[in-house]
Structure 1
Amino acid sequence: MEIRTEHDAAQHRFVLYVGEEVAAISEYFETEEQRTFFHTVTFPHYRGQGLAAVLTEYALDDTRTSGMTVVPSCWFVREFIETNTVKYGSLLTSAEPHA
């Protein structure tokens, strides 16, 4: 199973492909300083394989590289950061993970 992730900046989303098929997406709003992740979905055929976590890690790493902070409006992104606070907690716009 070939997995590929990419940042589709024009559509304000991160995409994970399995082969040539879109398997998961994470959408966001962006300002100069932050990304608000509001929707992450793994399509039914690909659920239960950890692909949303792979995509979220890629999106958060890209956000860090861009020098931005995160507002985790999406429950999945929020829980992912809460579970991985050592690595991603510093991306939050406040000290509270539920901000």
Structure 2
Amino acid sequence: MQVTIDHDSANSRFEIHVDSELAGYSEYFESDGVRTFHHTVTLPRFRGRGLAAALTEHALDDTSTRGLRVVPTCWFVRDFIAAAGDRYSHLIDP
């Protein structure tokens, strides 16, 4: 199983693929240096493999590298940040 994650900036989302097939995505709005992650989806046949966590980690790492802040309105992203302790807490936009 080959897993790849891509940033589709034209559509404001990160995508995760398994063997070249779309398995999930995380959508965001970006404005004034802030990415608001509002929707994360793992397609039903790919659930239970940790793909949403891998996708979210990649998206947050990319956001950090670009010096952007985060508003996690998506419950999965919000819970992922909370579970990661201090790793991503610095990204939260007040």
TM over 0.5: yes
Please report the TM-score for the alignment, with normalisation by the length of structure 2.
0.98
SS in 1 for 2:4: strand
Match of 2:79 in 1: 79
Match of 2:22 in 1: 22
Letter in 2 for 1:76: F
Cα deviation digits, residues 20-53 of structure 1 (max 9, x gap): 1000100000013110000000000000110000
Percent of residue pairs identical: 53
**Mapping for residues 40-51 of structure 1, pairs under 5 Å:** 40-51=40-51
| TM superposition shift of 1:89 | 0.6
Please report the TM-score for the alignment, with normalisation by the length of structure 1.
0.93
Match of 2:90 in 1: 90
Q: Where in structure 1 do 4 or more consecutive aligned residues deviate above 4 Å?
A: none
Alpha-carbon distance in 1 for matches of 2:85, 2:74 = 16
Letter in 1 for 2:26: S
Match of 2:8 in 1: 8
Match of 2:37 in 1: 37
Cα deviation digits, residues 44-70 of structure 1 (max 9, x gap): 000011000000000000000110000
Q: Which runs of 5+ in 1 are unaligned?
A: 95-99
SS in 1 for 2:49: coil
